[in-house]
Amino acid sequence: MNPVAIKLSSVALLGAASLAGTAGVITYNAGAVRVSVVEKRQNGEHVHVFVPAIVIPMAMGFIPAKHFHVHDKDTHQWLPILKAVSQELERCPDATLVEVTSPDEHVKISKQGNSLYIDVDDPGETVHVSFPVGVVQTVVNKLEAANTSPPV
Amino acid sequence: MILLAGMVLAMAASVMAAPPDQWIHVRVVSADAKGESVRVNIPMSFAEKILPTICAEKFHEGKVRFDDHFNDVDLRTIFEAIKSTPDNEFVTVKSRDEDVHVAKSGGNLLIKVHERHNYKHGQKVEDGQNVDVKVPLVVVQALLSGKKDELDIMAGIRALSALGNVDLVNVNDGEQTVRVWTDTSSSSE
């Protein structure tokens, strides 16, 4: 093989590897939205969704603003609360915030690092949802921008 | 010299470090064999930031309005009277079914209710309820710091935050125990 071609392909491979590595690091730092539902019955459904958090603001940019309009007055009232909760959750130290244990189910809401974890284990299924708190802020900011005046 | 400066800086930083976050904990544990339990751990700073955003029927900007429920009772005058009296037991009720004590002690308002076991034909049918409530007077003062017809919950939380570790409520009714307290730990274990 031509030495120049070998050099070029090595450089291209190195570039691709660095790009993939950088993308991996950025994705890892931004966290991910994970949803996992595992039904406990025989042949039950297993649903696993993994979305890198970095994709969410970009994906939201493609959704027309009209879809973010909140028409319900009660829902509109929740926006400032949701915003304050997401902002404070970012500052909140790691902890188990809520834990409910009963013979039938175990529910746990905890914060670890930049993410919020919701785990539900009941006789029917196991549900795990986790997402970076920043994702909530992104969604709330988008909702706020689309709902500057209260619904009539 | 640099080492000395570093040590001084480190000492200054440790002295000036922000106080640890205060947490409010709620724990409800069922006494039966099922062992149901609910644990809630919330940083007080979190509650301080969230409460003003809640806008409900009688709850605005961290204050709850009680309309004309207390029109005939001047809570502030009663509080000032309690505050200025020395530690004492104000109310003692002893009956066949329960003992109730309301006292002021060490800057706290203490409410203790002790229900006796409920017997029927010599058999215990129901456990008596024990309720211990401790409300620091500075918290009551903060709660009453707003307008006449409102309780300033935000001010109450701020006052509670500044107090450090406080055991607020203990309830044991035989079926479950309820405890509400504040400390600097993020866990309720």
User: What would the two tokens of residue A126 be?
Assistant: 């196991």
The residue of chain B nearest to residue A110, with distances taken between CA atoms, is B41
Distance CA B161, CA B53 (A): 19
Q: Which residues of B touch A75 (CB under 8 A)?
A: none
Least confident of A21-25, A32-36, A57-61: A21-25
Q: How many helices and strands in chain A, by DSSP H and E? A: 4, 6
Per-residue confidence band for B15, with pLDDT thresholds at 50, 70 and 90: very low
- pLDDT reading at A150 higher than 70: no
pLDDT of residue B39: 94
B44 vs A147, residue with greater confidence: B44
Q: Select the residue of A91, A97, A103 nearest B41 (Cβ to Cβ).
A: A97
Select from B18, B13, B166 the least CA-distant residue to A91.
B18
User: What would the two tokens of residue B146 be?
Assistant: 């707003």
Q: How many CB pairs under 8 A join A and B?
A: 59
Q: Which residues of A touch B54 (CB under 8 A)?
A: 81
A114 CB-contact burial (10 Å; exposed 0-12 / middle 13-18 / buried 19+):
middle
Per-residue confidence band for B14, with pLDDT thresholds at 50, 70 and 90: very low
- Tens digits of residue pLDDT in B22-37: 999 999 999 887 789 9
pTM of the model: 0.75
- Tens digits of residue pLDDT in B61-95: 889 887 766 667 788 888 888 889 899 888 899 98
Residue found by looking up tokens 């603003």 in the block: A65
pLDDT of residue A55: 87
Torsion over CA of B85, B87, B91 and B93, rounded to 10 degrees? -170
Q: How many helices and strands in chain B, by DSSP H and E? A: 5, 13
A74 vs A10, residue with greater confidence: A10
Polymer length of chain A: 152
Which positions in chain B have a beta carbon within 8 angstroms of at least one beta carbon in chain A? 21, 23, 34-43, 45-46, 49-50, 52-55, 186-187
Q: Which residues of B touch A98 (CB under 8 A)?
A: 38-41
- pLDDT reading at B177 higher than 80: yes
Q: Which of A97, A111, A136 to mutate to test the interface with B (most CBs of B within 10 A)?
A: A97
The residue of chain A nearest to residue B26, with distances taken between CA atoms, is A98
B107 vs A17, residue with greater confidence: B107
Instruction: Kindly report the nearest CA distance between residue A133 and chain B, in angstroms.
Output: 14
Per-residue confidence band for B104, with pLDDT thresholds at 50, 70 and 90: very high
pLDDT over 70 percentage in chain B? 81
Query: Do A147 and A76 touch, CB atoms closer than 8 A?
Result: yes
User: What would the two tokens of residue A100 be?
Assistant: 């409910």
Select from B146, B47, B61, B18 the least CA-distant residue to A84.
B47
* B126 bridge partner residues: B118
pLDDT over 90 percentage in chain A? 33
pLDDT of residue B10: 53
Least confident of A42-46, A78-82, B3-7: B3-7
- Tens digits of residue pLDDT in B117-144: 666 666 665 667 889 999 999 999 999 9
pLDDT of residue A81: 87
pLDDT of residue A67: 80
